[in-house]
Chains A and B, each alone.
Chain A
Amino acid sequence: MRFDVVVDVRLRGGIADPAGATIERALSALGYEGVTEVSVGKTVRFTIEAADATEATTQAEDLCASFLTNPVIEDASVTVEAAG
C-alpha cells in the first residue's frame, strides 16, 4: 500500500526562534493584538510504500530521526494516511 506522509518539523522548546519572534512583532505592529506563541517550522510531504499504516509510520519516524530533523534543535510529528 502507499501512504501519504506529512512531517511537521518545528524547533524544540527552549530553542530560540528568531523567525517566529520577528513575525510576532510584525503582527503586533500591523495591529493584530493578542497573537502569541508564533513559531516557524517546515513541512515535508511524501508518499511511502509499506504493508500497513504502522509500518509506514515507523519508516517515516526513522527517516525523520536520521535525516529530516536535527534532534539537537528540532522535533517532528508524523501524520500517515492511506494514499487516495
Chain B
Amino acid sequence: MATTVGVVIFPGTNCEMDAMSSVERLGGIGRLLWHADDDLGDVDAVIVPGGFAHGDYLRPGAIARFSPVMGAVARFAADGGPVVGICNGFQVLTEAGLLPGALQKNVGLKFLCQPTTLRVETTGSILTRRAEVGDQLSVPINHFEGNYTCNDEMLARLRDEDRVVLRYVDNPNGSVDDIAGVCNESRNVVGLMPHPERACDDLLGSADGAVLLGSLLDAA
C-alpha cells in the first residue's frame, strides 16, 4: 500500500503543493493537513512545508508552534513517526522544541534564492537513508532567516551524536558549522532550510531532492 504523507498547511504556508506533487511523483499519497485540526489521521509521515506561517509575525514559527496541529505532530514524532520540516517548516520545528537551535537572519541581510550544493553528513536519518555519506546534492534555498545557530554545547552534541544531516559545501547564509539540516536525538525528525521538493525533476534543474524525499517515504 502506498505511503501517505501528511503536508501541514498554516495560514501563509506556500510550498504545500510542491511537497504534495513531489510526494506523489515518488509514489506516495499526499494529504493536506489544516493547522487548526489536532488530528493527523492515519498518515505515515509528515512534512511541514515552507512559506510564512502566520505571517512570520513575532518570529518565524513562533505562532505556528501553538496551532493545534503541532500538538498532534509532536505526539506523532514522539511515537517515532517521521517528520521533516523544510525551510519555514524547519523554523516551526525549532520553535516547537522538536529540533534544537534557531534560525536567524542571513549574514549579509539578503533574501537568498539560489541553488546550493549540500553534502550528506549522515545516512542515519529519515531523510538520508537512500544517500551515501559524502554525496553532493544540488537543492535550492529560498529564505531570509536560514542562518542556523545554537550554543556551543548543543553544537558539540550535534557533532558528537552525528546529528548534522546536511552541510552546505559553500555556506550561503552564515549558518554555524555550515549546517543546512539537523535531526533530533531519535533521528526521526529532520529540519533543513533547502527545498528538496523543488528539486525532484530534471526540468527544475535538479532531481537530487528525490533522494531525500524518497528516503522519507522509505522511513514511513
Contact = CB atoms under 8 A, between A and B. Distances in A.
Interface residues of B, number: 19
A15 B149 contact: yes
B108 A18 contact: yes
A45 B163 CA distance: 39
B107 A18 contact: yes
A73 B58 contact: no
Interface of A is mostly: mixed
B102 A73 contact: yes
A72 B62 contact: no
Interface in A43-73: 67-68, 70, 72-73
Contacts of A72: 94, 100-102, 149-151
A72 B104 CA distance: 10
Given A16-B147, A16-B149, A70 B107 contact: no
Contact of A16 (B59, B62, B100, B107): B107
A36 interface: no
Given A67-B62, A70-B95, A18 B105 contact: yes
Nearest to A40: B105
Contact of B104 (A67, A68, A73): A73
Interface string B76-116: 00000000000000000011000011101111110000000
Contacts of A68: 58
A28 interface: no
A83 B174 CA distance: 43
Interface of A: 11, 15-16, 18-19, 22, 67-68, 70, 72-73
